Chain A
Amino acid sequence: MQLQANDIRADLSAAAAEMRLRFSNMTRYPGQLALEIFLPILFAAMPIFLSQTVPGSDVATNFSENAGTTNYVAYLLIGSTAYIMVTRAFWDVAFWLRYEQMVGTLEAIYLTPTNSVVLASGVSFYSAVRSLTAGLIAYLLGCLIFGVNPLQGQIGLALVFLLVGLPAVYGIAFLFGALVIKIKEMTALINMMQWGFAFLMGVYYPLSMLPDFFSFLALVLPATWLVNGVRSAILGVGFFLGAWYYDLAVLTALSIIVPIFSIRVFKRTERNIRRRQGIGQF
Protein backbone atom coordinates (compact mmCIF):
# COMPACT_ATOMS: atom_id res chain seq x y z
CA MET A 1 0.00 0.00 0.00
CA GLN A 2 2.79 2.36 1.03
CA LEU A 3 4.69 1.34 -2.08
CA GLN A 4 1.69 2.18 -4.28
CA ALA A 5 1.31 5.61 -2.68
CA ASN A 6 5.00 6.25 -3.28
CA ASP A 7 4.59 5.27 -6.93
CA ILE A 8 1.70 7.66 -7.39
CA ARG A 9 3.65 10.43 -5.67
CA ALA A 10 6.65 9.76 -7.92
CA ASP A 11 4.48 9.82 -11.03
CA LEU A 12 2.84 13.08 -10.03
CA SER A 13 6.22 14.56 -9.29
CA ALA A 14 7.54 13.50 -12.74
CA ALA A 15 4.46 14.90 -14.50
CA ALA A 16 4.79 18.17 -12.57
CA ALA A 17 8.48 18.36 -13.48
CA GLU A 18 7.68 17.89 -17.17
CA MET A 19 4.98 20.53 -16.89
CA ARG A 20 7.39 22.98 -15.24
CA LEU A 21 9.92 22.27 -17.95
CA ARG A 22 7.36 23.09 -20.66
CA PHE A 23 6.26 26.26 -18.89
CA SER A 24 9.82 27.47 -18.48
CA ASN A 25 10.44 26.61 -22.14
CA MET A 26 7.35 28.64 -23.07
CA THR A 27 8.58 31.70 -21.20
CA ARG A 28 11.63 31.70 -23.49
CA TYR A 29 9.35 32.50 -26.43
CA PRO A 30 7.01 35.29 -25.26
CA GLY A 31 6.30 36.44 -28.81
CA GLN A 32 4.76 33.07 -29.63
CA LEU A 33 2.35 33.43 -26.73
CA ALA A 34 1.24 36.88 -27.81
CA LEU A 35 0.68 35.76 -31.39
CA GLU A 36 -1.39 32.81 -30.21
CA ILE A 37 -3.99 35.19 -28.81
CA PHE A 38 -4.44 36.93 -32.15
CA LEU A 39 -4.67 33.79 -34.27
CA PRO A 40 -8.31 32.89 -33.43
CA ILE A 41 -9.34 36.50 -34.08
CA LEU A 42 -7.68 36.48 -37.50
CA PHE A 43 -9.14 33.07 -38.22
CA ALA A 44 -12.65 34.31 -37.40
CA ALA A 45 -12.15 37.55 -39.33
CA MET A 46 -11.83 35.64 -42.60
CA PRO A 47 -15.40 34.29 -42.83
CA ILE A 48 -16.78 37.46 -41.24
CA PHE A 49 -15.39 39.39 -44.21
CA LEU A 50 -16.32 36.53 -46.53
CA SER A 51 -19.96 36.97 -45.48
CA GLN A 52 -19.94 40.43 -47.05
CA THR A 53 -19.33 38.97 -50.52
CA VAL A 54 -22.58 37.07 -50.51
CA PRO A 55 -25.29 38.83 -52.51
CA GLY A 56 -28.30 40.09 -50.57
CA SER A 57 -27.84 42.24 -47.51
CA ASP A 58 -29.40 40.00 -44.86
CA VAL A 59 -26.55 37.59 -44.25
CA ALA A 60 -27.45 37.32 -40.57
CA THR A 61 -30.90 35.92 -41.39
CA ASN A 62 -29.40 33.51 -43.92
CA PHE A 63 -26.84 32.44 -41.35
CA SER A 64 -29.58 31.94 -38.79
CA GLU A 65 -31.50 29.66 -41.21
CA ASN A 66 -28.43 27.44 -41.46
CA ALA A 67 -26.77 27.75 -38.06
CA GLY A 68 -29.57 28.69 -35.67
CA THR A 69 -28.30 32.12 -34.61
CA THR A 70 -28.04 35.55 -36.16
CA ASN A 71 -24.98 36.29 -34.05
CA TYR A 72 -22.52 34.91 -36.58
CA VAL A 73 -19.61 36.90 -35.17
CA ALA A 74 -19.79 35.15 -31.78
CA TYR A 75 -20.51 31.83 -33.53
CA LEU A 76 -17.35 32.14 -35.61
CA LEU A 77 -15.26 33.42 -32.72
CA ILE A 78 -16.24 30.42 -30.57
CA GLY A 79 -15.49 28.09 -33.47
CA SER A 80 -12.11 29.59 -34.23
CA THR A 81 -11.08 29.74 -30.55
CA ALA A 82 -12.04 26.09 -30.04
CA TYR A 83 -10.23 25.20 -33.24
CA ILE A 84 -7.02 26.91 -32.12
CA MET A 85 -7.26 25.06 -28.79
CA VAL A 86 -7.62 21.73 -30.58
CA THR A 87 -4.72 22.64 -32.84
CA ARG A 88 -2.63 23.54 -29.78
CA ALA A 89 -3.31 20.08 -28.37
CA PHE A 90 -2.03 18.47 -31.55
CA TRP A 91 1.09 20.60 -31.78
CA ASP A 92 1.93 20.31 -28.09
CA VAL A 93 1.30 16.60 -27.59
CA ALA A 94 1.90 14.99 -30.97
CA PHE A 95 4.70 17.37 -31.81
CA TRP A 96 6.27 16.99 -28.36
CA LEU A 97 7.34 13.43 -29.16
CA ARG A 98 8.50 14.28 -32.63
CA TYR A 99 10.33 17.35 -31.34
CA GLU A 100 12.21 15.30 -28.76
CA GLN A 101 12.94 12.77 -31.49
CA MET A 102 14.35 15.44 -33.80
CA VAL A 103 16.53 17.11 -31.20
CA GLY A 104 17.81 13.71 -30.09
CA THR A 105 16.47 13.79 -26.54
CA LEU A 106 13.67 11.25 -26.90
CA GLU A 107 15.92 8.29 -26.14
CA ALA A 108 17.23 10.07 -23.07
CA ILE A 109 13.67 10.61 -21.90
CA TYR A 110 12.95 6.92 -22.35
CA LEU A 111 15.96 6.06 -20.23
CA THR A 112 14.60 7.98 -17.24
CA PRO A 113 12.98 5.72 -14.63
CA THR A 114 9.46 6.91 -15.37
CA ASN A 115 6.59 6.16 -17.67
CA SER A 116 6.27 8.07 -20.97
CA VAL A 117 2.51 8.39 -20.39
CA VAL A 118 3.20 10.17 -17.10
CA LEU A 119 5.41 12.67 -18.91
CA ALA A 120 2.83 13.07 -21.67
CA SER A 121 0.19 13.88 -19.09
CA GLY A 122 2.47 16.64 -17.76
CA VAL A 123 2.78 18.01 -21.30
CA SER A 124 -1.00 17.75 -21.80
CA PHE A 125 -1.73 19.62 -18.59
CA TYR A 126 0.70 22.37 -19.53
CA SER A 127 -0.86 22.60 -22.99
CA ALA A 128 -4.42 22.71 -21.63
CA VAL A 129 -3.59 25.55 -19.21
CA ARG A 130 -1.81 27.45 -21.94
CA SER A 131 -4.53 27.07 -24.57
CA LEU A 132 -7.37 27.76 -22.13
CA THR A 133 -5.74 30.99 -21.04
CA ALA A 134 -4.91 32.10 -24.59
CA GLY A 135 -8.34 30.98 -25.87
CA LEU A 136 -10.30 32.88 -23.24
CA ILE A 137 -8.28 36.05 -23.79
CA ALA A 138 -8.68 35.68 -27.56
CA TYR A 139 -12.46 35.26 -27.22
CA LEU A 140 -12.81 38.32 -25.00
CA LEU A 141 -10.55 40.40 -27.22
CA GLY A 142 -12.31 39.21 -30.39
CA CYS A 143 -15.71 40.12 -28.93
CA LEU A 144 -14.35 43.54 -28.06
CA ILE A 145 -12.93 44.09 -31.56
CA PHE A 146 -16.07 42.94 -33.39
CA GLY A 147 -18.46 44.63 -30.94
CA VAL A 148 -20.12 41.53 -29.50
CA ASN A 149 -21.13 40.99 -25.87
CA PRO A 150 -18.85 38.22 -24.54
CA LEU A 151 -20.91 37.66 -21.39
CA GLN A 152 -24.12 36.43 -22.97
CA GLY A 153 -25.74 33.00 -22.53
CA GLN A 154 -24.80 30.37 -19.98
CA ILE A 155 -21.08 31.06 -19.54
CA GLY A 156 -20.74 28.56 -16.67
CA LEU A 157 -22.19 25.73 -18.75
CA ALA A 158 -19.93 26.67 -21.66
CA LEU A 159 -16.90 26.42 -19.38
CA VAL A 160 -18.09 23.02 -18.12
CA PHE A 161 -18.30 21.75 -21.72
CA LEU A 162 -14.83 23.13 -22.37
CA LEU A 163 -13.24 21.53 -19.31
CA VAL A 164 -15.02 18.19 -19.71
CA GLY A 165 -14.17 18.00 -23.41
CA LEU A 166 -10.46 18.76 -23.15
CA PRO A 167 -9.32 15.31 -21.89
CA ALA A 168 -10.99 13.72 -24.93
CA VAL A 169 -9.33 16.20 -27.26
CA TYR A 170 -5.94 15.49 -25.69
CA GLY A 171 -6.68 11.78 -25.95
CA ILE A 172 -7.09 12.14 -29.70
CA ALA A 173 -3.90 14.20 -29.88
CA PHE A 174 -2.08 11.47 -27.97
CA LEU A 175 -3.40 8.86 -30.38
CA PHE A 176 -2.07 11.00 -33.17
CA GLY A 177 1.27 11.20 -31.33
CA ALA A 178 1.50 7.41 -31.59
CA LEU A 179 0.97 7.71 -35.33
CA VAL A 180 3.63 10.41 -35.58
CA ILE A 181 6.34 8.40 -33.83
CA LYS A 182 5.46 5.43 -35.99
CA ILE A 183 5.47 7.07 -39.41
CA LYS A 184 7.77 9.99 -38.52
CA GLU A 185 6.19 12.41 -40.98
CA MET A 186 4.84 15.22 -39.01
CA THR A 187 4.38 18.73 -40.37
CA ALA A 188 2.08 18.08 -43.33
CA LEU A 189 0.23 15.41 -41.38
CA ILE A 190 -0.52 17.76 -38.48
CA ASN A 191 -1.47 20.51 -40.94
CA MET A 192 -3.80 18.09 -42.67
CA MET A 193 -5.30 17.05 -39.34
CA GLN A 194 -5.77 20.71 -38.42
CA TRP A 195 -7.79 21.36 -41.56
CA GLY A 196 -9.53 17.99 -41.21
CA PHE A 197 -10.72 19.05 -37.76
CA ALA A 198 -11.70 22.49 -39.07
CA PHE A 199 -13.77 20.74 -41.71
CA LEU A 200 -15.43 18.17 -39.44
CA MET A 201 -15.94 20.00 -36.15
CA GLY A 202 -17.72 22.89 -37.88
CA VAL A 203 -15.43 25.77 -37.11
CA TYR A 204 -17.29 28.02 -39.54
CA TYR A 205 -20.58 26.21 -40.10
CA PRO A 206 -23.00 23.74 -38.49
CA LEU A 207 -22.83 19.99 -39.12
CA SER A 208 -25.97 20.19 -41.27
CA MET A 209 -23.82 21.80 -44.00
CA LEU A 210 -21.74 18.63 -44.30
CA PRO A 211 -22.66 15.64 -46.45
CA ASP A 212 -24.27 12.81 -44.41
CA PHE A 213 -21.19 10.63 -44.22
CA PHE A 214 -19.02 13.46 -42.89
CA SER A 215 -21.73 14.55 -40.41
CA PHE A 216 -21.65 11.05 -38.98
CA LEU A 217 -17.86 11.06 -38.87
CA ALA A 218 -17.88 14.46 -37.16
CA LEU A 219 -20.00 13.08 -34.33
CA VAL A 220 -17.27 10.61 -33.46
CA LEU A 221 -14.91 13.50 -32.71
CA PRO A 222 -15.03 14.93 -29.17
CA ALA A 223 -14.14 18.38 -30.55
CA THR A 224 -17.46 18.51 -32.42
CA TRP A 225 -19.41 17.91 -29.18
CA LEU A 226 -17.22 20.39 -27.34
CA VAL A 227 -17.66 23.25 -29.80
CA ASN A 228 -21.40 22.63 -30.23
CA GLY A 229 -21.85 22.45 -26.45
CA VAL A 230 -20.10 25.79 -25.97
CA ARG A 231 -22.05 27.39 -28.82
CA SER A 232 -25.36 26.04 -27.56
CA ALA A 233 -24.66 27.24 -24.03
CA ILE A 234 -23.72 30.74 -25.20
CA LEU A 235 -25.82 31.24 -28.33
CA GLY A 236 -28.60 28.67 -27.98
CA VAL A 237 -27.99 27.02 -31.35
CA GLY A 238 -29.32 23.69 -30.06
CA PHE A 239 -27.70 20.66 -28.46
CA PHE A 240 -27.28 17.58 -30.62
CA LEU A 241 -29.42 15.40 -28.33
CA GLY A 242 -31.92 18.07 -27.35
CA ALA A 243 -30.73 18.82 -23.79
CA TRP A 244 -27.39 19.93 -22.38
CA TYR A 245 -27.08 16.99 -19.97
CA TYR A 246 -27.32 14.41 -22.76
CA ASP A 247 -24.61 16.14 -24.77
CA LEU A 248 -22.49 16.55 -21.67
CA ALA A 249 -22.92 12.85 -20.86
CA VAL A 250 -21.66 11.89 -24.32
CA LEU A 251 -18.71 14.25 -23.97
CA THR A 252 -17.91 12.85 -20.50
CA ALA A 253 -18.01 9.30 -21.87
CA LEU A 254 -15.67 10.31 -24.70
CA SER A 255 -13.34 11.98 -22.20
CA ILE A 256 -13.04 8.68 -20.34
CA ILE A 257 -12.94 6.25 -23.26
CA VAL A 258 -10.69 8.15 -25.69
CA PRO A 259 -7.70 8.74 -23.34
CA ILE A 260 -7.78 5.10 -22.13
CA PHE A 261 -7.89 3.83 -25.70
CA SER A 262 -5.15 6.28 -26.78
CA ILE A 263 -2.84 5.24 -23.97
CA ARG A 264 -3.22 1.58 -24.92
CA VAL A 265 -2.51 2.28 -28.58
CA PHE A 266 0.42 4.51 -27.72
CA LYS A 267 1.97 1.93 -25.39
CA ARG A 268 1.62 -0.74 -28.02
CA THR A 269 3.15 1.40 -30.76
CA GLU A 270 5.97 2.43 -28.48
CA ARG A 271 6.73 -1.19 -27.54
CA ASN A 272 6.82 -2.25 -31.19
CA ILE A 273 9.13 0.60 -32.17
CA ARG A 274 11.52 -0.06 -29.29
CA ARG A 275 11.64 -3.73 -30.22
CA ARG A 276 12.43 -3.01 -33.87
CA GLN A 277 14.49 -0.01 -34.92
CA GLY A 278 14.61 2.06 -31.77
CA ILE A 279 12.81 5.20 -30.80
CA GLY A 280 15.41 7.79 -31.75
CA GLN A 281 15.53 7.02 -35.45
CA PHE A 282 14.01 9.59 -37.80
Chain B
Amino acid sequence: MENVQKTTQINEQRPLRDWFDMFWAMVRKEFTIKTRYPIELFAGFAQLFIMIAVFTLATLTFTSGGSDSIGEGGINIYSIVVYGFIPFIFLTETLWGIGVNIRQEQLQGTLESVFLSPASQAASLISRVILTLIWTSLMSLMAIILMVLMTRSIPFFNLPLALYILAMTLLGTFGIGFAFAAITLRIKQTAQTLANVFQFSFMVFCAPFIPFGVLPEWVKLVSRVIPLAYGVDAFRSTLMNYPAGFPELAPINVEIWIVTLFGLLAPPLGLWLYYREEARARRRGSLGIY
Protein backbone atom coordinates (compact mmCIF):
# COMPACT_ATOMS: atom_id res chain seq x y z
CA MET B 1 0.00 0.00 0.00
CA GLU B 2 2.81 2.31 1.00
CA ASN B 3 4.66 1.45 -2.20
CA VAL B 4 1.60 2.19 -4.31
CA GLN B 5 1.19 5.56 -2.62
CA LYS B 6 4.88 6.33 -3.17
CA THR B 7 4.65 5.43 -6.86
CA THR B 8 1.53 7.54 -7.29
CA GLN B 9 3.27 10.47 -5.62
CA ILE B 10 6.31 10.10 -7.86
CA ASN B 11 4.07 9.86 -10.93
CA GLU B 12 2.24 13.02 -9.94
CA GLN B 13 5.53 14.82 -9.50
CA ARG B 14 6.95 13.78 -12.86
CA PRO B 15 4.18 13.98 -15.43
CA LEU B 16 6.49 15.23 -18.17
CA ARG B 17 9.04 12.52 -17.58
CA ASP B 18 6.30 9.88 -17.57
CA TRP B 19 4.98 11.23 -20.84
CA PHE B 20 8.41 10.97 -22.40
CA ASP B 21 8.95 7.46 -21.04
CA MET B 22 5.64 6.43 -22.52
CA PHE B 23 6.42 8.20 -25.75
CA TRP B 24 9.82 6.54 -25.98
CA ALA B 25 8.25 3.11 -25.36
CA MET B 26 5.85 3.78 -28.24
CA VAL B 27 8.66 4.89 -30.56
CA ARG B 28 10.52 1.68 -29.67
CA LYS B 29 7.39 -0.35 -30.38
CA GLU B 30 6.96 1.27 -33.81
CA PHE B 31 10.65 0.79 -34.54
CA THR B 32 10.52 -2.88 -33.50
CA ILE B 33 7.53 -3.49 -35.77
CA LYS B 34 9.32 -1.80 -38.66
CA THR B 35 12.44 -3.92 -38.26
CA ARG B 36 10.35 -7.11 -38.17
CA TYR B 37 9.41 -6.52 -41.81
CA PRO B 38 12.74 -6.09 -43.60
CA ILE B 39 11.28 -6.63 -47.07
CA GLU B 40 8.94 -3.73 -46.43
CA LEU B 41 11.99 -1.57 -45.66
CA PHE B 42 13.65 -2.64 -48.88
CA ALA B 43 10.43 -2.14 -50.88
CA GLY B 44 10.14 1.42 -49.54
CA PHE B 45 13.57 2.30 -50.90
CA ALA B 46 13.01 0.51 -54.20
CA GLN B 47 9.72 2.32 -54.67
CA LEU B 48 11.51 5.63 -54.32
CA PHE B 49 13.96 4.87 -57.12
CA ILE B 50 11.21 3.63 -59.40
CA MET B 51 9.08 6.75 -58.84
CA ILE B 52 11.95 9.05 -59.75
CA ALA B 53 12.72 6.96 -62.84
CA VAL B 54 9.06 7.07 -63.94
CA PHE B 55 8.83 10.85 -63.72
CA THR B 56 12.21 11.39 -65.35
CA LEU B 57 11.26 9.14 -68.29
CA ALA B 58 7.86 10.83 -68.53
CA THR B 59 9.61 14.18 -68.93
CA LEU B 60 12.00 12.78 -71.51
CA THR B 61 9.10 11.57 -73.68
CA PHE B 62 8.18 15.20 -74.29
CA THR B 63 11.66 16.17 -75.44
CA SER B 64 13.26 15.86 -78.81
CA GLY B 65 16.88 15.72 -77.78
CA GLY B 66 16.54 13.65 -74.61
CA SER B 67 17.94 14.80 -71.30
CA ASP B 68 20.31 17.37 -72.88
CA SER B 69 17.42 19.57 -73.95
CA ILE B 70 15.84 19.82 -70.54
CA GLY B 71 18.04 22.48 -68.95
CA GLU B 72 17.71 24.83 -71.92
CA GLY B 73 14.78 26.75 -70.52
CA GLY B 74 17.02 28.40 -67.90
CA ILE B 75 15.91 26.25 -64.94
CA ASN B 76 17.10 22.81 -64.03
CA ILE B 77 14.00 20.60 -64.17
CA TYR B 78 15.80 17.85 -62.27
CA SER B 79 16.30 20.10 -59.26
CA ILE B 80 12.60 20.93 -59.38
CA VAL B 81 11.77 17.21 -59.40
CA VAL B 82 14.14 16.21 -56.62
CA TYR B 83 13.45 19.16 -54.32
CA GLY B 84 9.72 18.72 -54.86
CA PHE B 85 10.10 15.05 -54.20
CA ILE B 86 11.21 15.65 -50.60
CA PRO B 87 7.95 17.29 -49.37
CA PHE B 88 6.04 14.77 -51.51
CA ILE B 89 7.65 11.73 -49.89
CA PHE B 90 7.15 13.22 -46.41
CA LEU B 91 3.48 13.81 -47.12
CA THR B 92 3.09 10.28 -48.49
CA GLU B 93 4.84 8.68 -45.55
CA THR B 94 2.86 10.81 -43.11
CA LEU B 95 -0.49 9.94 -44.65
CA TRP B 96 0.32 6.24 -44.74
CA GLY B 97 2.41 6.14 -41.56
CA ILE B 98 -0.11 7.96 -39.36
CA GLY B 99 -3.51 7.82 -41.03
CA VAL B 100 -3.49 4.41 -42.62
CA ASN B 101 -1.55 3.00 -39.67
CA ILE B 102 -4.52 3.84 -37.44
CA ARG B 103 -6.70 1.95 -39.88
CA GLN B 104 -4.35 -1.01 -39.65
CA GLU B 105 -4.66 -1.05 -35.87
CA GLN B 106 -8.43 -1.01 -36.36
CA LEU B 107 -8.26 -3.94 -38.77
CA GLN B 108 -6.00 -5.94 -36.52
CA GLY B 109 -8.29 -5.30 -33.59
CA THR B 110 -5.60 -3.55 -31.52
CA LEU B 111 -6.96 0.00 -31.76
CA GLU B 112 -9.40 -0.41 -28.89
CA SER B 113 -6.65 -1.86 -26.67
CA VAL B 114 -4.41 1.10 -27.49
CA PHE B 115 -7.21 3.49 -26.59
CA LEU B 116 -8.02 1.63 -23.38
CA SER B 117 -4.45 1.85 -22.10
CA PRO B 118 -3.80 4.83 -19.79
CA ALA B 119 -1.35 6.24 -22.34
CA SER B 120 -1.50 9.60 -24.02
CA GLN B 121 -3.14 9.44 -27.43
CA ALA B 122 -0.98 12.35 -28.56
CA ALA B 123 2.10 10.30 -27.70
CA SER B 124 0.70 7.43 -29.71
CA LEU B 125 0.26 9.61 -32.77
CA ILE B 126 3.54 11.52 -32.44
CA SER B 127 5.52 8.29 -31.94
CA ARG B 128 4.44 7.27 -35.45
CA VAL B 129 5.77 10.61 -36.70
CA ILE B 130 9.26 10.05 -35.26
CA LEU B 131 9.79 6.93 -37.30
CA THR B 132 8.45 8.66 -40.41
CA LEU B 133 10.86 11.53 -39.79
CA ILE B 134 13.95 9.32 -39.54
CA TRP B 135 12.93 6.97 -42.29
CA THR B 136 11.86 9.62 -44.78
CA SER B 137 14.93 11.78 -44.15
CA LEU B 138 17.02 8.79 -45.16
CA MET B 139 14.90 8.28 -48.28
CA SER B 140 15.17 11.97 -49.20
CA LEU B 141 18.93 11.83 -48.91
CA MET B 142 18.94 8.78 -51.16
CA ALA B 143 16.71 10.62 -53.66
CA ILE B 144 19.17 13.51 -53.89
CA ILE B 145 22.11 11.16 -54.35
CA LEU B 146 20.20 9.17 -56.95
CA MET B 147 19.24 12.28 -58.89
CA VAL B 148 22.82 13.55 -58.87
CA LEU B 149 23.96 10.17 -60.16
CA MET B 150 21.21 9.92 -62.79
CA THR B 151 21.48 13.41 -64.17
CA ARG B 152 24.06 16.09 -63.59
CA SER B 153 24.85 18.28 -60.61
CA ILE B 154 21.86 20.06 -59.16
CA PRO B 155 21.98 23.53 -57.52
CA PHE B 156 22.43 23.49 -53.75
CA PHE B 157 22.34 26.88 -51.96
CA ASN B 158 21.12 28.52 -48.70
CA LEU B 159 21.04 25.27 -46.73
CA PRO B 160 20.17 26.67 -43.23
CA LEU B 161 17.18 28.65 -44.52
CA ALA B 162 16.08 25.73 -46.70
CA LEU B 163 16.25 23.42 -43.67
CA TYR B 164 14.16 25.86 -41.63
CA ILE B 165 11.53 26.00 -44.39
CA LEU B 166 11.57 22.20 -44.66
CA ALA B 167 11.23 21.82 -40.86
CA MET B 168 8.20 24.13 -40.79
CA THR B 169 6.69 22.41 -43.83
CA LEU B 170 7.17 19.05 -42.13
CA LEU B 171 5.53 20.24 -38.93
CA GLY B 172 2.58 21.35 -41.01
CA THR B 173 2.59 18.03 -42.85
CA PHE B 174 2.43 16.18 -39.55
CA GLY B 175 -0.56 18.33 -38.65
CA ILE B 176 -2.18 17.13 -41.87
CA GLY B 177 -1.28 13.57 -40.84
CA PHE B 178 -3.06 13.99 -37.49
CA ALA B 179 -6.12 15.41 -39.24
CA PHE B 180 -6.00 12.51 -41.69
CA ALA B 181 -5.93 10.07 -38.77
CA ALA B 182 -9.11 11.77 -37.55
CA ILE B 183 -10.70 11.35 -40.98
CA THR B 184 -9.62 7.71 -40.99
CA LEU B 185 -11.58 7.07 -37.81
CA ARG B 186 -14.64 8.49 -39.54
CA ILE B 187 -14.40 7.10 -43.09
CA LYS B 188 -12.66 3.78 -42.31
CA GLN B 189 -11.97 1.71 -45.45
CA THR B 190 -12.13 4.71 -47.79
CA ALA B 191 -9.03 6.11 -46.05
CA GLN B 192 -6.69 4.20 -48.36
CA THR B 193 -8.25 5.61 -51.48
CA LEU B 194 -8.41 9.04 -49.91
CA ALA B 195 -4.69 8.83 -49.10
CA ASN B 196 -4.08 8.14 -52.80
CA VAL B 197 -6.30 11.04 -53.79
CA PHE B 198 -4.44 13.36 -51.38
CA GLN B 199 -1.14 12.22 -52.84
CA PHE B 200 -2.21 12.81 -56.42
CA SER B 201 -3.95 16.09 -55.57
CA PHE B 202 -0.73 17.19 -53.92
CA MET B 203 1.10 16.28 -57.14
CA VAL B 204 -1.21 18.52 -59.15
CA PHE B 205 -1.95 21.43 -56.83
CA CYS B 206 1.35 21.71 -54.95
CA ALA B 207 3.39 21.09 -58.12
CA PRO B 208 6.22 19.14 -56.49
CA PHE B 209 7.56 17.92 -59.85
CA ILE B 210 6.77 20.92 -62.05
CA PRO B 211 6.99 24.71 -61.75
CA PHE B 212 3.74 26.43 -60.77
CA GLY B 213 4.11 28.59 -63.87
CA VAL B 214 2.95 25.79 -66.17
CA LEU B 215 -0.23 25.09 -64.26
CA PRO B 216 -3.53 26.37 -65.65
CA GLU B 217 -4.81 29.51 -63.93
CA TRP B 218 -7.63 27.75 -62.07
CA VAL B 219 -5.18 25.20 -60.65
CA LYS B 220 -2.89 28.02 -59.55
CA LEU B 221 -5.82 29.64 -57.77
CA VAL B 222 -6.31 26.44 -55.75
CA SER B 223 -2.55 26.19 -55.13
CA ARG B 224 -2.52 29.68 -53.63
CA VAL B 225 -4.86 28.65 -50.82
CA ILE B 226 -2.82 25.54 -49.87
CA PRO B 227 -0.03 26.41 -47.38
CA LEU B 228 1.87 23.26 -48.36
CA ALA B 229 2.25 24.67 -51.88
CA TYR B 230 4.12 27.66 -50.42
CA GLY B 231 6.37 25.21 -48.54
CA VAL B 232 7.25 23.39 -51.77
CA ASP B 233 7.83 26.66 -53.64
CA ALA B 234 9.92 28.31 -50.91
CA PHE B 235 12.00 25.18 -50.25
CA ARG B 236 13.07 24.55 -53.84
CA SER B 237 13.44 28.22 -54.73
CA THR B 238 15.78 28.69 -51.74
CA LEU B 239 17.89 25.66 -52.63
CA MET B 240 18.05 26.80 -56.27
CA ASN B 241 19.13 30.29 -55.07
CA TYR B 242 16.03 32.05 -56.43
CA PRO B 243 16.46 31.85 -60.22
CA ALA B 244 14.42 34.34 -62.28
CA GLY B 245 10.70 33.84 -61.63
CA PHE B 246 11.22 31.89 -58.38
CA PRO B 247 9.55 31.73 -55.91
CA GLU B 248 6.45 31.69 -58.03
CA LEU B 249 3.51 32.04 -55.65
CA ALA B 250 4.60 35.00 -53.51
CA PRO B 251 7.78 36.92 -52.49
CA ILE B 252 10.07 34.71 -50.39
CA ASN B 253 9.53 36.62 -47.12
CA VAL B 254 5.76 36.22 -47.48
CA GLU B 255 6.19 32.51 -48.23
CA ILE B 256 8.40 32.07 -45.15
CA TRP B 257 5.70 33.67 -42.99
CA ILE B 258 3.02 31.45 -44.45
CA VAL B 259 5.13 28.33 -43.97
CA THR B 260 6.00 29.31 -40.39
CA LEU B 261 2.35 29.84 -39.49
CA PHE B 262 1.47 26.57 -41.19
CA GLY B 263 4.15 24.73 -39.20
CA LEU B 264 3.03 26.24 -35.89
CA LEU B 265 -0.73 26.01 -36.32
CA ALA B 266 -1.32 22.79 -38.27
CA PRO B 267 -0.12 20.27 -35.61
CA PRO B 268 -2.35 21.57 -32.75
CA LEU B 269 -5.24 21.90 -35.17
CA GLY B 270 -4.68 18.34 -36.44
CA LEU B 271 -4.46 17.01 -32.89
CA TRP B 272 -7.62 18.88 -31.92
CA LEU B 273 -9.47 17.32 -34.84
CA TYR B 274 -8.15 13.90 -33.90
CA TYR B 275 -9.24 14.21 -30.25
CA ARG B 276 -12.65 15.38 -31.41
CA GLU B 277 -13.07 12.45 -33.76
CA GLU B 278 -11.73 10.02 -31.19
CA ALA B 279 -14.24 11.28 -28.59
CA ARG B 280 -17.02 10.93 -31.15
CA ALA B 281 -15.93 7.37 -32.00
CA ARG B 282 -15.80 6.48 -28.28
CA ARG B 283 -19.27 7.95 -27.70
CA ARG B 284 -20.73 6.04 -30.62
CA GLY B 285 -18.78 2.90 -29.79
CA SER B 286 -17.44 2.76 -33.34
CA LEU B 287 -13.72 2.42 -32.64
CA GLY B 288 -13.67 -1.25 -33.42
CA ILE B 289 -16.20 -1.05 -36.24
CA TYR B 290 -14.82 -1.19 -39.73
Contact = CB atoms under 8 A, between A and B. Distances in A.
A55 interface: yes
Given A35-B196, A102-B104, A205-B57, 11 more contacts: A28-B189, A31-B194, A38-B197, A39-B197, A46-B209, A50-B209, A53-B214, A188-B47, A192-B47, A192-B50, A198-B54
Contacts of B209: 46, 50
Nearest to B74: A55
Contacts of B41: 188
A280 B60 CA distance: 46
Interface of B: 37, 39-41, 43-44, 46-47, 50-51, 53-55, 57-64, 69-70, 72-73, 77, 80, 96, 100, 104, 107-109, 187-190, 192-194, 196-197, 200-201, 203-204, 207, 209-211, 214-215, 219
A102 B109 CA distance: 9
B58 A49 contact: no
A32 B187 CA distance: 9
Contacts of A52: 210, 214
Interface stretch (A63-71, A162-170, A244-252): A63-71
B50 A204 contact: no
Nearest to A183: B39
Contact of A42 (B46, B58, B201, B211): B201
Contacts of A210: 57
Contact of A29 (B72, B96, B189, B207): B189
A163 to B, nearest CB: 25
A29 B37 contact: no
Nearest to A42: B200
A205 B210 contact: no
30 contacts: A32-B192, A36-B193, A42-B204, A47-B62, A49-B210, A49-B214, A49-B219, A53-B73, A53-B211, A54-B73, A56-B69, A59-B62, A62-B62, A91-B192, A102-B104, A183-B39, A184-B37, A187-B40, A187-B96, A188-B37, A188-B39, A188-B43, A192-B46, A192-B47, A195-B50, A195-B54, A198-B54, A199-B53, A199-B57, A206-B61
Contacts of A150: none
A203 interface: yes
A205 B73 contact: no
A103 interface: yes
A39 B214 CA distance: 21
B201 A198 contact: no
B201 A204 contact: no
A35 B190 contact: yes
Contacts of B73: 53-55
Contact of A32 (B57, B189, B215): B189
Given A43-B200, A198-B54, A54 B193 contact: no
A46 B39 contact: no
Given A43-B200, A53-B210, A35 B194 contact: yes
A35 B47 contact: no
A32 B104 CA distance: 17
A199 B50 contact: yes
Given A45-B204, A50-B209, A29 B109 contact: no
Give chain A's interface secondary structure class.
helix
Give chain B's interface secondary structure class.
helix
Nearest to B211: A53
Interface string A1-44: 00000000000000000000000000011011001101100110
A65 B62 CA distance: 9
Contact of A209 (B61, B70, B107, B207): B61
Nearest to B194: A35
**Nearest 10 A/B pairs, CB to CB:** A52-B214, A55-B73, A42-B200, A204-B58, A188-B43, A192-B43, A195-B50, A205-B61, A188-B40, A32-B190
A56 B64 contact: yes
A107 interface: no
A239 interface: no
Contact of B59 (A50, A72, A184, A203): A50
A243 interface: no
B62 A54 contact: yes
Given A104-B109, A188-B44, A49 B204 contact: yes
Contact of B55 (A50, A99, A189, A192): A50
A51 interface: yes
B218 to A, nearest CB: 12
A180 B80 CA distance: 36
Contacts of B39: 183, 185, 188-189
A159 B125 CA distance: 46
Contact of B62 (A50, A91, A199): A50
B85 to A, nearest CB: 13
A236 interface: no
Nearest to B71: A55
Given A188-B40, A189-B40, A55 B197 contact: no
Nearest to B61: A205
Nearest to A54: B62
